[in-house]
Structure 1
């Protein structure tokens, strides 16, 4: 088909033009045909064309002969087959981006709403209506003095939600642009993990869960990598630990080196994960059966996205299960989630 040139016009069911390589003369012919519906408007010497409506697409292809031999119908059909396959892949990619966008937008809006609720729980909006800027500050000062403990708790919750919004937005730029150059920096792994853990302090305290963070031999472990991806994974494991861990239990978080890798291990008693779910919990949208029974299941994307982001920095996340426990009609087991990042 080296002597044949293909020109393509394609739009979807929403009239969005996906592909248009038509020269002006061919575009004029197509526009005339779309008005008249007369096939003669598309005919041209040394070319063949085909119009199809398939699976929500309007496709117009023109094959022009640049050599001595006429264009065969087979070559045109073969080109269309390849084109339809490409369009299918484009649609899948677009759908994935749309779903990721919807999920992140939903999360960000929800977290922002929680922050607004925390603010409103301290400073009643009704009482602040109509106050001057100066009186508003005086009113807020008085409210803080009346309930300092409640204010402190709300500030911690707002800080946690704001951090999660930042993580979501950081990761979104990598989703939108898979070829985005990952920014690297040198940081202390213990310090990074501790900062994320601190945002969950109040929640773990309310649940009676004690989290112990240890670095092997109290060694200062630093490395050069993209910490946006690592922070996102650490945050999601702490988030899952909070949701699924047993009340009044403890979680050990151990940081250590393993040959040319750094490891962060989360050892906890949490809801049981079945044999056939060990790999599935890292799939997009999958939730474990025991979390569904318990009514604590989420949307099943946290571990999936964490796994995806860790791959970008030569890392992975695995699960090891040990002994089982039974408390208050719930089945638990010792679950050990391990983040491992290979250093370049």
Structure 2
């Protein structure tokens, strides 16, 4: 009986661990989808103000047409951002289904790293433009083996964080290094503390300066990035204020020059 009890306990432990991981991943998926959907709603309200939501269908269409004629640039930006968010949601669902569907699998293939980065970076052009941040890409491209959709989510999170935390009017340098099989994001971003370094990949953690700047989320992004990199046989390193320069204070928030390095083992 002790043997069967032990086996039963082990099975229950395994089931509980699987359930815990699934619940955690479901929570992350819901958080990201809800966040992206909220952004889409904001974009719709930019085209059709909240005050006009109560109008009937024909009146809403007329209002949208009038807004498009009078504000073509703003209308195009709203459509662009909704498209970007919808693509991100598609990738989130796809990655979740691949990892937690009935037959979990990755589609690992060879990809040109520079082309992948450019295809995702294109979706953030307007966001960086609004902060007057230019993106410089240095180094020669090279091929890397990874699952495209999960790495798309990784780079989307990193670029989304870059938009949120980078210092205005300071360029971001993306360096491709064939020798080290790596890609580095070099930017002035919100200061990273000793405590942040130790907990930055913990789910639910947000940095002190991010909270001070009122730019903290639910602390899921970097935790998710780390997990998705692990399954692609890749790693991440964060190098903060490498030269120990004095922080730049902008709007009462401290910024330093920080690096995020993604390296591939394949």
- Regarding TM over 0.5, the answer is yes
Matched, 1:235 2:162: no
For 1:200 and 1:222, the matched residues in 2 are separated by 23
How far residue 165 of structure 1 moved from its aligned partner, in angstroms, is: 0.7
Contact 1:194–1:213 (Cα < 8 Å) also in 2? no
Unaligned runs of 5+ in 1: 1-75
Which SS does the other structure have where 1:131 is aligned? helix
Deviation sequence 1:58-97 (CA, Å, 0-9, x none): xxxxxxxxxxxxxxxxxx2443244234313322321331
Deviates more, 1:320-329 or 1:158-167: 320-329
Match of 2:213 in 1: 294
Match of 2:24 in 1: 99
- Which of 235, 257, 262 lines up with 1:334 in the alignment? 257
CA, structure 1 residues 172+130, in 2 after alignment: closer, same or farther (shift >3 Å)? closer
More RCO (CA 8 Å, sep 6+): 2
- Which of 200, 203, 206 lines up with 2:127 in the alignment? 203
Matches within 5 A, 1:168-187: 168-177=92-101, 180-187=104-111
CA, structure 1 residues 189+92, in 2 after alignment: closer, same or farther (shift >3 Å)? same
Matched, 1:281 2:200: yes
Instruction: Kindly report the root-mean-square deviation, in angstroms, between the aligned alpha carbons of the 2 structures.
Output: 2.6
How far residue 299 of structure 1 moved from its aligned partner, in angstroms, is: 1.4
Contact 2:99–2:105 (Cα < 8 Å) also in 1? no
Contact 2:239–2:259 (Cα < 8 Å) also in 1? yes
Deviation sequence 1:236-255 (CA, Å, 0-9, x none): 11111122222222211112
How far residue 337 of structure 1 moved from its aligned partner, in angstroms, is: 0.3
Matches within 5 A, 1:1-344: 76-123=1-48, 126=53, 129-131=56-58, 136=61, 140-177=64-101, 180-214=104-138, 216=139, 219-258=140-179, 261=181, 263-321=182-240, 322=242, 323-324=244-245, 325-328=247-250, 329-343=252-266
CA, structure 1 residues 251+120, in 2 after alignment: closer, same or farther (shift >3 Å)? same
For 2:36 and 2:115, the matched residues in 1 are separated by 25
How far residue 293 of structure 1 moved from its aligned partner, in angstroms, is: 2.8
TM-score w.r.t. length of structure 2: 0.85
Which SS does the other structure have where 2:200 is aligned? helix
Which SS does the other structure have where 2:218 is aligned? coil
TM-score w.r.t. length of structure 1: 0.67
Deviation sequence 1:293-334 (CA, Å, 0-9, x none): 332221112112111111222111111122341304323221
Whose strand fraction is larger, Structure 1's or Structure 2's? 1
CA, structure 1 residues 142+258, in 2 after alignment: closer, same or farther (shift >3 Å)? same
Contact 2:144–2:264 (Cα < 8 Å) also in 1? no
Unaligned runs of 5+ in 2: none
Find the structure with the greater CA-based Rg: 1
